[in-house]
A and B are shown apart, each in its own frame.
Chain A
Amino acid sequence: MTLLEVQHLTKQFGGLNANRDISFTVNKGELVGLIGPNGAGKTTLFNCISGLHPVTAGTILFDGRDITSLKAHEVARMGLARTFQVYVASGDLTVIENVMVGCFMRTRSRARARARAQEILEELNLREVGDSLVSELPVAAQKRVTMATSLGSDPKLLLLDEVAAGLNPSEIEDIMKNIRHIHNDLGITVMLIEHVMELVMKVSDRVMVLDYGRKIADGDPESIARDKNVIKAYLGERFVREHGEALA
């Protein structure tokens, strides 16, 4: 069953085409990776889907409803959550308070929000740091806090924007476990932007590739790793010409 359907999405910033005619679907229960070189338009795509940017052209359907012209908070309330790549915590909120803000989307009661936040912190191994300020935590824990906060709203679809960027291998291992837990145990459909290939290739059911705002490939991780267009996008035309035989 289709959960998210994007049809011919185009996003222009002045003369710049950040997303050009992108179409794809995400099925319920899938875990889809989204990769591409820097500036390929991945985060812009997330911003369009989550309603932060108005789209220039195209349609976005979520859970059977046209959400193209909905505002970000309306999209969020439908069950589409996301994390942010650059999260600047002002140092005002503690970890649990952050997660509670997410939980407050579904309840007015502080007691219930707190209890739910407690559960989520437990699930993401953040319980001990609940009362710390987010800005006091190491990057890896901060990334898990952003995931926990978006989980607070009990989403159907979670968009993760580079949650493994800047982490060391063992931290990546941990965050991979968290992502698998969210996907397998909590049954949430996930779409993730990632530069860390071993993570994307290991956890994704399907991988999509963007380059210069266009979708250039879409398939299972193995076929994407061998796709000529993808290698060209990452390593350049010359590399493919010189190593063509080896790749085929």
Chain B
Amino acid sequence: METLRNALDFSDFPRFDLLIAGLVAVFMLVFPLFPHSAFAMATMIQFLMFSLYGMGWNTIGGYGGQVDLGKAQYVGIGAYTTAVLLIRWDIPFWFSMPLGMCFAVLWSFIIGYPLFRLKGHYFAIATIATSLVLMDLFQVWDFVGAARGLEISPIKYHPPDWWRLIFKEDIYYYYVILGFFLLGVFYMNWFRKSRLGYQLRSIKDNEDVARSLGINVHWAKIKTYAIATAFVSMVGSFHACYIKNIEPEDTMSLDISILIALMAMLGGAGSLWGPILGAAVLIPLKSYLKEWLGATAGLAGIDLLLYAIIIMAISAIEPRGIWGIVEKIRRRKRR
């Protein structure tokens, strides 16, 4: 009961924020009913997906302060589980998604146990390494299509197929991912008020203090890492059905890991709205940049340049991102 109340209770935010959040929610619900371009729709779906990735990252990276640059490996595990199961045995999305989450969590325990013996930069580098190794493995593993990847051909099915999540129009995908997104927001609202949420913030503050308050630091990190993983893998499964064509390079590459972490940090690591704000800024920017400049040869890496500028801006101006700036201004006003 208290769990549900905590998930639904946003009353610790100022009314103004809730008004904005409500307006945005209404906009998102009715947006597809108005005329829109396919590009805008695709961008909105990307935004929702990356918000969810960011929320997952935010548990361990934001609240727990453990900078994780290997989230893409779990996108891959989710996407490949769903694609392989559908293509080989016609197992529908709603079974393969939880199964993918189980695989991802299992993998997260296997690598999390040793990895969380490391701290700070060493941890971040190790997460990059494990993600790259997994990507390389998938690139030579014939069972999952190796470097060619896998393709889900929609001709075999009869869209709209809710069971297998195969649709012709993007609007269906939009509402499915919006549902996940709203659940994600409620889950994160519960998470930040949970015992684990408080313990993580204490760990981020000072690990020795956390230990002396009865917190099993190593286990708390592993548990949280598993939660983050489950989030990411869930959206990875969705990615497989939505994109229908997955390759190791575009599900598990370092770019994606960095983009996930960067979004959450830009918006505000360790805050409820941070990952959403970050995705709202970065995803449209990235999409439009690609649209404008992508065709021009030689400017393909422009988005990487943009990330670099953002990283520098975050570390120089406010480590807690956009939300950190908002909170700073509010604190100053109150005094």
Contacts and interface: CB of A to CB of B under 8 A. Distances in A.
Interface stretch (B15-23, B112-120, B202-210): B202-210
A101 interface: yes
Nearest to B6: A110
Interface of A: 50-52, 71-73, 76-77, 81-82, 84, 87-90, 92-93, 97-98, 100-102, 104-105, 107-111, 113, 133, 149-150, 152-153
Given A73-B214, A150-B212, A92 B201 contact: yes
Contacts, number: 81
A160 to B, nearest CB: 12
Contacts of A51: 211
Contact of B2 (A93, A110, A133): A110
A137 B170 CA distance: 53
Contacts of A84: 206, 208-209, 212
Interface residues of B, number: 24
Contacts of A82: 212
Contacts of A108: 195
Given A84-B206, A101-B213, 7 more contacts: A72-B208, A84-B208, A92-B204, A101-B202, A104-B195, A110-B193, A113-B198
A170 to B, nearest CB: 25
B199 interface: yes
Nearest to A133: B331
Contact of A92 (B212, B215, B270): B270
22 contacts: A73-B211, A73-B212, A73-B213, A73-B215, A73-B216, A76-B212, A84-B208, A87-B206, A87-B209, A88-B205, A90-B205, A92-B201, A92-B205, A97-B201, A101-B198, A101-B210, A101-B213, A102-B213, A108-B195, A110-B195, A113-B195, A150-B213
A93 B201 contact: yes
Nearest to B216: A73
A153 B213 contact: yes
Nearest to A101: B202
A62 B44 CA distance: 59
Contacts of A89: 205
Instruction: Report whether over half of chain B's contact residues are helix, strand or loop; otherwise say mixed.
Output: helix
Contacts of B210: 101
A182 B214 CA distance: 20
B310 interface: no
Nearest to A86: B206
A180 B56 CA distance: 46
Interface string B181-200: 00000000000011100110
Contact of B198 (A52, A73, A100, A150): A100
Most buried by A among B199, B201, B206, B214: B214
Most buried by B among A72, A77, A150: A72
Contacts of A104: 195, 198-199
A51 B204 CA distance: 20
B211 A52 contact: yes
Contacts of A72: 208, 211-212
B217 interface: yes
Contacts of A88: 205-206
Contacts of B215: 73, 101, 105
Contacts of B193: 110
B205 A93 contact: yes
Contact of A101 (B6, B199, B270, B331): B199
